[in-house]
Structure 1
């Protein structure tokens, strides 16, 4: 056990959204686990605009333990933005990122930490026996297979955000300024030596996931647009192929005309061709429009998130907020 005073060895970052039913148990289990490793740890709970009693419980936990720190975002920005806020506030040599629903077992932190000490700056938890519903597991596998194909990198559907990361990795993550934040994909892109260890995945103790199918679909679209240009490349290839087929069709039609096989122009074939190519062009323009929309969002230069308040007046808020595409950090004081 690390007994070094005034040193934060491990920071645990937890995005919180409608988690009033699990916060007390989560905090208790994390405290018990980390006290076996070091006295120097902090638990950073980031309330991502919850409308239940989550923030009140975070304040209660912070008042009862010096290890607990809370950050409240002004509205629901999204899980990965809450993770970004927590990572910018973390002071630990190692940073653990996990969910608040207790499907990620706090007891696995010790196993992750011991593996990290072998020399791995990134250690990911691999959920071999996921306790999610069949639809979520299937959609996750299909999405990661599609993402692997689009980006040319292999992604494991058994791996989420749960893992332990060295401070250097988190510092590099904090330097990445793109407005579309997908924590696991950004960590994967860095390419640091990574280890994976199997962990036990628990069923959700209560309630249902706030990640609806619609939200997962929107997240998938965000990732594809932010981290892959393959859709545009596919449009170019499709355009070349359609042009080739059009020329071929034109030559065949011309030959049939000179052979006397065509006496009357076909109305149906003309309408079908116009409708088909119009649909293809509109779809292509739509994809280009989505990419342009992402550029438009980026050039606004808005902050990634806005902090409403914190439980720790000494928390270094000036290190938390950073604007995309701007090298200067912008200080935002708690209200």
Structure 2
């Protein structure tokens, strides 16, 4: 493609970020054989009539510490395209970190994420963006006909079935092809394998989520990095997400409640021992293990209550500028002198190098 291309891919430096309507983000790890062809497809889609209302478009590719020459391919693309940017992480941080880096660099009012392996079809992007115009904040792709082996699809289905308990009725949590509004992107903080549960995170923060069937193509180059270790980390992250969503704002309810239950159980067993000793005159020596258990339950229960108090204090400090709700709109008279003051969360700076689009 020509660096002066003026169709779907916008021209201009980072300082002209307001011109960008849509950002397309691709996290890439060892995808040398796929990146260039996929970018060509994206540009062709961006030039199409269906994308007219979503232009100008920028493309952000994040190299997640690739070792197969992907970095060099991205550099060549960044040097030859006016609105293509390559973001290079210092090492392999994982897909969530790569996505987070790409979202941080995206300037568009709308943001689309795709896998760099070519299995997501860029032709589906306009449909997802059109759903955003219906009022949704996030539209997640649903790979109805997955072109993956059972070793990938079965664990994914199990994770999706469990993830449904977190909120939204989504069939395919693991699909990277998603479209977001800017407000939803600014809400995301991804860690571990947390990118799999983005719809649940946004749903629980009050954003409107939709799902759109999308195509899924077989991989033509490279190898997948999906393995048993990543699957296990995904389950761990799911458990943490469920816990965090329910108790991050009220840890005392969990820790303190558990502690009170242990204190009650210890008190009940202790009372039984007192009755046996002083009402029935029974010896407590045969019940010494039970007495040790009583002491342990009371001490552990008391510690949990104290930890709950400390966690509650820390949570209130951490969330002192966070509201446990999201306002859809405000209608009616605005108090005189009251101005809109949108608060945009600052993010920790990522160890990245950025090339292109300057």
TM-score (ref. length: structure 2): 0.66
What corresponds to 1:269 in structure 2?
Answer: 290
Query: Is the Cα–Cα contact under 8 Å of residues 81 and 356 in structure 2 kept in the other structure?
Result: no
Deviations 1:215-252 (A, max 9, x none): 42554466457544266532222211122222222222
Query: Is the Cα–Cα contact under 8 Å of residues 225 and 291 in structure 1 kept in the other structure?
Result: no
* RMSD (Å) for aligned C-alpha atoms: 4.2
Say which of 224, 241, 247 aligns to 1:229: 247
What corresponds to 2:25 in structure 1?
Answer: 13
Say which of 160, 163, 169 aligns to 2:178: 163
Task: Return 5+ residue gaps in structure 1 as ranges.
Answer: 315-335
Distance 1:232 1:167, change over 3 A: same
Distance 1:204 1:285, change over 3 A: farther
Distance 1:259 1:186, change over 3 A: closer
Q: Which moved more, 1:114-123 or 1:23-32?
A: 114-123
Deviations 1:172-227 (A, max 9, x none): 44xx7x68595625543553443322223445554233461344255446645754
Q: Separation in 2 of the partners of 1:3 and 1:45?
A: 17
User: CA shift at 1:305, angstroms?
Assistant: 0.7
Say which of 285, 302, 305 aligns to 2:350: 305
Q: Separation in 1 of the partners of 2:20 and 2:205?
A: 24
What corresponds to 1:317 in structure 2?
Answer: none
Residues 1-335 of structure 1 mapped to structure 2, 5 A cutoff:
7-36=19-48, 37-38=51-52, 40-130=56-146, 131=148, 132-142=152-162, 144-145=163-164, 148=166, 153-154=167-168, 156=170, 158-160=172-174, 161-170=176-185, 172-173=186-187, 182=194, 184=198, 187-202=202-217, 204-205=219-220, 206-210=222-226, 212-217=230-235, 219-220=237-238, 223=241, 227-229=245-247, 233-260=253-280, 262-265=282-285, 266-271=287-292, 303-312=348-357, 314=358
Secondary structure of residue in 2 paired with 1:198: strand
Equivalent pairs counted in the alignment come to 300
Distance 1:164 1:213, change over 3 A: closer
Query: Is the Cα–Cα contact under 8 Å of residues 16 and 48 in structure 1 kept in the other structure?
Result: yes
Q: Separation in 2 of the partners of 1:98 and 1:291?
A: 38
Deviations 1:141-184 (A, max 9, x none): 33x256x2xxxx446362345322234544x44xx7x6859562
Q: Separation in 1 of the partners of 2:270 and 2:182?
A: 62
Secondary structure of residue in 1 paired with 2:256: helix
Distance 1:80 1:274, change over 3 A: same
Query: Is the Cα–Cα contact under 8 Å of residues 179 and 304 in structure 1 kept in the other structure?
Result: no
Q: Which moved more, 1:50-59 or 1:109-118?
A: 109-118
Query: Is the Cα–Cα contact under 8 Å of residues 257 and 305 in structure 2 kept in the other structure?
Result: no
Task: Return 5+ residue gaps in structure 2 as ranges.
Answer: 1-6, 12-18, 320-345
Q: Separation in 2 of the partners of 1:280 and 1:103?
A: 51
Query: Is the Cα–Cα contact under 8 Å of residues 12 and 44 in structure 1 kept in the other structure?
Result: yes
Secondary structure of residue in 2 paired with 1:133: helix
User: CA shift at 1:71, angstroms?
Assistant: 1.2
Distance 1:9 1:308, change over 3 A: closer
User: CA shift at 1:64, angstroms?
Assistant: 4.3
Query: Is the Cα–Cα contact under 8 Å of residues 277 and 284 in structure 2 kept in the other structure?
Result: no
Q: Separation in 1 of the partners of 2:355 and 2:315?
A: 31
Query: Is the Cα–Cα contact under 8 Å of residues 77 and 305 in structure 1 kept in the other structure?
Result: no
